[in-house]
Amino acid sequence: MPKANVVRTRVLVVLFALAVRLPVSSPSALGSTERQTRIDAVWDAQRYIKVDEVKPGMDAYCLTDYGSGIEKFSLKVLDIVHDIDPGRNAILVMGTDERFQHTGPVAGCSGSPVYIEGRLAGALAFGWPFSKDPLYGVTPIDEMLEVGFVDGSGSASASSKASALTFDFSKPIQVAEAAEQFTTRRLAGTDTAGGATVLPCPLLVSGLSPEAYRHVAGQLEAMGFMATPTPGGAEPTAEGQSPLVPGASLTMPLVTGDIRMNVLGTVTEVRDGCIYGFGHSFLGYGPTNLPMAGGKVYTVISSLQRSSKLGASTAIVGAITVDQEGAVFGRLGAKPDMIPVSIRVDRFNAVGTRTYNCQVVRNESLTPTLVHSALSGAVFQAGSFPPEHSIEYRAAIDLDDGQSIRFSNTSANMDIAEPGGEITGALSLLMNNPFDTAAVKAIQFDVRMAARNIDSYIWSVDVANPKVKPGQEIRTEVVIESFLKEKRKHQVRIQVPEDLAEGKYNLMFLGANEYEGYQRKSMPYRFVATNYQALVSALNAALNVSRTKLYCLLVLPPDGIMLEKAELPKLPRTKALVLQSEQRAVPAMPHAQWIETVVETGTLIADKEIVSITVEK
């Protein structure tokens, strides 16, 4: 090796040893003695080589697929970095094959088995973006075999609850805020202080138009995934499928059907129907249940930033049951848990309606975002929205216990921000609640889009007589001005109670957002989840405030109290004082009252008006 290359290599080794820390999901649950005992039980010295036997300068090779099937690629061992993380080692190798030298580190090579002296040493797992040299970090095989010791039950609820977001259920739920918190969280972050990164496993997206992919990619990349468009083709079948062997492509089909999203890596080792791959974690959540399949590589896209494999998934053959720091571990024949999702889209610029049928993986961290991405892909398939548009939508989240979250509404000039946020927020809260496991059975979404603006505001409120007597009717005329200055009049009548005391009262005219805010302030218990059943009820309440209605409220004095979810109106004052004692664990609130009339306007009202009414004797 030329002297300049030797110096550069030693500098890289020092940087790796001092600055790079491998991302870890959790420390090993096994003690060192137990860990060694288990590794010794599966260790085959003729099949595997230990890190202590590896020396700088040794020749090596890896098996991987660059588009022409599994091939050998020559490597040279540079050095070994011990305790790069507590109890973790790494082997540094440089690719000497001219194809490796052309591409540099390649996303999708994660898990490519590395052999030294004919024995398996580990898997390609780490690299450097913008690297001009094919420098890789190798996860030793003993650390990968350790992942197989974890009890991955493969159940639908196997994903670690600790890995999911924890929402504050002591306050009224905010679906939009839950969605924002969820979608702005990076799941697959791989950056390290030294500039090295885990080789990303490309998330191959197919079945979408270029315009639809652009919208989906932004959502996925915000969460840390390396989204890559790939040719669609037919839905994969088991016929003619290549076996999962070392060096073959290993994929996780997170979304299947009319829209497909597949994570692509490489198989490292196969033992007794068990698959080891990637050489690093995917999400690092321990026991899990993700679909496992083979894959086909079309080619490698060479890039200065990060070269990547381009490919597709084949038929599902099992499930990834453990996702840990050293590898992902799957079992052939295991059944992954998927949720059927149906999206029906009716666009003004498309002939007829189109229905997209998909299966989405069941996972507390992935399902909400993947459903949102599938929805984005479906609605943008026929192009972007015009600047002025409206969307009518209906959604249903059916649960295994027979309950459901059902909502319908209208949105204007916001693409699918509101319906997408509502479905994401609802699924996030359901699947990450602290009360009970929410078994989502199926998801349906209907979207109808028109090229018209229906935004409006209250132009005027005219009260026929602001002074009324108990039992009389308040008559008002509300003028709503919509886009292009079109005005519409709406007659509103509200009956004054016979026993209402004299005095001044507020007559409120509210759009949907103002009305929901008033409800949350006056009756917050309707939106607080104290148990699983209350969460289902709160979601249905929060998601079903129609935006095309005008809410007219005559606000009355509080009467009685509210205790948790119990409304106790007209409660005698002596009893109310007892229940309102500061010594009680559950605080009591005044029982809010109002008389309500709702008017359908066909437009989205964004503001409010309040007028004063005098009740006389």
**Model pTM score:** 0.86
Q: Which pair of tokens denotes residue 549? A: 């209605």
- In this predicted structure, which of 190-199, 295-304, 499-508, 526-535 has the lowest mean pLDDT? 190-199
Return d(Cα 336, Cα 361) in angstroms, integer.
Answer: 8
Task: Give pLDDT, residue 569.
Answer: 65
Q: Which pair of tokens denotes residue 254? A: 């997170």
Q: Which residues pair with 73 in a beta bridge?
A: 62
User: What would the mean pLDDT of 189-203 be, rounded to a whole number?
Assistant: 68
CA distances in angstroms from 287 to 150, 326, 430, 459, 462, listed in the order given: 7, 13, 20, 58, 64
pLDDT, the chain, mean: 85
Residues 32-50: tens digit of each pLDDT: 677 777 777 789 999 999 9
Q: Which amino acid is at 412?
A: A
State the Cα angle at 337 between 375 and 159, rounded to 5°: 95
Q: State what percent of residues in the chain have pLDDT above 90.
A: 60
Residues 271-281: tens digit of each pLDDT: 999 999 999 99
Return d(Cα 142, Cα 121) in angstroms, integer.
Answer: 8
Q: What is the CA radius of gyration of the chain?
A: 30
